[in-house]
Amino acid sequence: MQTLKKRFEYKGHAVAITTTRATGTWRWRFEIDEQLVFAEQLQPGHRLEAAAVTEAAAEARHRIDKLT
């Protein structure tokens, strides 16, 4: 299993994305402001890690937009 972490800020909120590769696919989860909001991928994983990060970042931004 391989795990990678990415961090960024969006509208003043800290987002931490963790991607994990297992059984040939990448899955994601993220935390906003150290667990103010937590989500993880429920659908089948992605073939590429970049696709998992892109989807997680978009979902995180969407959640932040709903908070503000």
pLDDT in tens, 31-59: 999 876 778 777 788 999 999 999 999 99
Return all residues near 65 (Cβ < 8 A) that are at least 6 apart.
11
AA identity, residue 10: Y
pTM (predicted TM-score): 0.86
- Which range marks the domain in which residue 37 is found? 2-67
pLDDT computed for residue 43 by the predictor:
77
Tell me the C-alpha distance between 18 and 65, whole Å: 21
Residue 58 in tokens: 């978009």
Work out the mean pLDDT of the chain and round it to a whole number: 90
The number of residues in the chain equals: 68
If one counts the domains in the chain, the total is 1
Residue 65 has pLDDT above 70, yes or no: yes
